[in-house]
Amino acid sequence: MKKMTYGEAIREGMSIRMRENKNVLLFGEDVGAFGGCFGVSAGMYEEFGEERVRDTPISEGVIIGCAVGAAATGLRPIAELMFIDFLTVGMDQLVNQAAKMRYMFGGHISMPMVVRLPAGAGVSAAAQHSQSLEAWVTHVPGLKVVYPSTPQDALGLMLTAIDDNDPVMFIEHKAMYAMKGEVTELKPIPLGKGDIKRSGEDVTIIATGKMVHEALAASKNLEKEGISCEVLDPRSLYPLDKALIKASLIKTHKAVVITEEVKRGGYGGEISAMISEEYFDLLDAPVVRIGALNTPIPFAINLEQYALPNAQDIIHAVKQLV
């Protein structure tokens, strides 16, 4: 057992697989000697060399296109985009090539590529560097999507993502890179397996990414008032662990879904709809959905915090249900 930061855990997961398999490589803007915009790849250039830890031009279309070509010809690339916001520039290669090539080639080709996507707000990076766009990538058939909330999950899901033969979108919340946590196992975490971060009996709070920690804070506060909350972290957005959600609802019969993304059209709505369609008979009340305000993320700290969901929003929602 050891403690490491969220960023260190991501690096450890990449490094483990790169030591084991020479076909695994990392590339992106400033991931080499600089160590990555957020320091996640620090030391990897020195260990693996410039052939396997490569700096790229400032062109996300090139980065994703390179990953597609590398994966199609037998490598296992890890492509880092400095911010998930810049996925907009590489969307054609991702949506129309990476996501569809296995299907369109009748299963005769694999796409073992990982796209690292630093996402989320809370660091005053303003409107073009603070978005949560998980709904975009979960909407596309052919892409798998993970969103770890702890160092342990980050390491285990990175190992799995690199091993997978389909494109995996690896969403990382940049405000959590320095967050420390215990890492007890150096082994893969299967896609489609969620995790109960806190057991409870009265309400199921389904949260993703940094919102898992807001949910835990809210649950601790609500416990003082005699309200027992179960915090469920899907970890894998697609495939989604529906069985775990169902098992939790059998206990609590109430659900709050919180994601940091803009509420309108967000993936939280997909989870809410799935619960309402498939587990309606388990519910004692409508599903409550929490997300960011329908606005670009402001630069000013006070306005940014106002726009984002937080523990107080969860507390208010839970009290409405219970």
Orientation angle between helical segments 151-163 and 6-20, nearest 10 degrees: 30
Q: How many angstroms separate the CA atoms of 297 and 30, rounded?
A: 25
Q: Which residues pair with 3 in a beta bridge?
A: 182
Please choose, from the candidates 105, 111, 75, the residue with its C-alpha nearest in 3D space to the C-alpha of residue 93. Answer: 111
Q: Which residues contact 269 (CB under 8 A, 6 or more apart)?
A: 135, 263, 289
Q: Tens digits of per-residue pLDDT, 287-296?
A: 999 999 999 9
Q: Where is 165: in which H helix or E strand? A: none
Do the beta carbons of residue 237 and residue 134 sit within 8 Å? yes
SS3 128: coil
Tell me 287's DSSP state: P
Q: Which residues contact 137 (CB under 8 A, 6 or more apart)?
A: 87, 94, 117, 143, 145, 169
Other residues' Cβ atoms within 10 Å of the Cβ of residue 215: 29
Q: How many angstroms separate the CA atoms of 292 and 297, rounded?
A: 9
Q: Which residues are catalytic?
A: 129
Question: What's the confidence (pLDDT) of residue 86?
Answer: 96
> Taking 80 as the threshold, does the pLDDT of residue 1 lie above it?
no
Q: Where is 288: in which H helix or E strand? A: strand 288-292
Do the beta carbons of residue 182 and residue 20 sit within 8 Å? no
> Taking 90 as the threshold, does the pLDDT of residue 62 lie above it?
yes
Please choose, from the candidates 198, 200, 193, 139, the residue with its C-alpha nearest in 3D space to the C-alpha of residue 169. Answer: 139
- Looking at residues 236-261, what average pLDDT do you find? 98
Q: Tens digits of per-residue pLDDT, 41-55?
A: 999 999 999 999 999
Q: Tens digits of per-residue pLDDT, 65-115?
A: 999 999 999 999 999 999 999 999 999 999 999 999 999 999 999 999 999
Backbone angles phi, psi at 78, to 5 degrees: -115, 115
Q: Which residues pair with 99 in a beta bridge?
A: none
Q: Tens digits of per-residue pLDDT, 198-232?
A: 999 999 999 999 999 999 999 999 999 999 999 99
> Taking 80 as the threshold, does the pLDDT of residue 6 lie above it?
yes
Q: What is the mean pLDDT of the chain?
A: 97
Q: Is the pTM of this model over 0.85?
A: yes
Q: How many angstroms separate the CA atoms of 132 and 163, rounded?
A: 25
Which domains are present in the chain? 2-183 (3.40.50.970), 195-321 (3.40.50.920)
